[in-house]
Amino acid sequence: MKITNRNRALLEMAKQRFPARTATLSYLRAELVLLNNVTTYKFSFLSNSPQTANPASLGLDSTDAFICDKLGFFLAARNKSQSGVERLHTYPAQDTFPTVTGATSLAPGSPANFKNHHLNLIYNGRYKITLDNKVYFEKMDMFRHLYVPDVQTTEGQVSRIDTSAGFVNLEPYLILSGERKHEIEVVLPSITGMEIEAVRQTTGTADKEHILVLIAQGMLISSGATK
pLDDT digits (tens, 9 = 90+) for 73-86: 999 999 999 999 99
- pLDDT value of residue 4: 63
**Cβ atoms within 10 Å of 4's Cβ, excluding its own:** 8
- Asked if residues 91 and 146 have their Cβ atoms less than 8 Å apart, the reply is yes
Contacts of 183 (CB under 8 A, 6+ apart): 42, 43, 44, 129, 130
**Cβ burial 65-91 (10 Å sphere, 16+ → b, else e):** bbbbbbbbbbbbbbbeeebeebbbbbb
Written as one letter, the residue type at 19 is P
**CA end-to-end span of the chain, whole Å?**
32
- pLDDT value of residue 169: 93
- pLDDT value of residue 11: 87
- pLDDT value of residue 147: 94
Distance, CA of 184 to CA of 197 (rounded, Å): 21
- pLDDT value of residue 9: 85
pTM: 0.92
Backbone angles phi, psi at 60, to 5 degrees: -95, 120
Distance, CA of 29 to CA of 47 (rounded, Å): 10
Distance, CA of 197 to CA of 200 (rounded, Å): 9
* SS3 of residue 128 by DSSP: strand
- pLDDT value of residue 34: 98
Cα separation values, 3 from 7, 70, 75, 161, Å = 6, 11, 24, 17
- pLDDT value of residue 1: 37
227 residues of the chain, pLDDT tens digit each: 344 688 888 888 888 889 989 999 999 999 999 999 999 999 999 999 999 999 999 999 999 999 999 999 999 999 999 999 999 999 999 999 999 999 999 999 999 999 999 999 999 999 999 999 899 898 999 999 999 987 555 555 555 467 889 999 998 889 999 999 999 999 999 999 999 999 999 988 999 999 999 999 999 999 988 75
- pLDDT value of residue 2: 47
Distance, CA of 98 to CA of 130 (rounded, Å): 35
Distance, CA of 192 to CA of 211 (rounded, Å): 21
- Asked if residues 213 and 27 have their Cβ atoms less than 8 Å apart, the reply is no
- pLDDT value of residue 154: 56
- pLDDT value of residue 155: 53
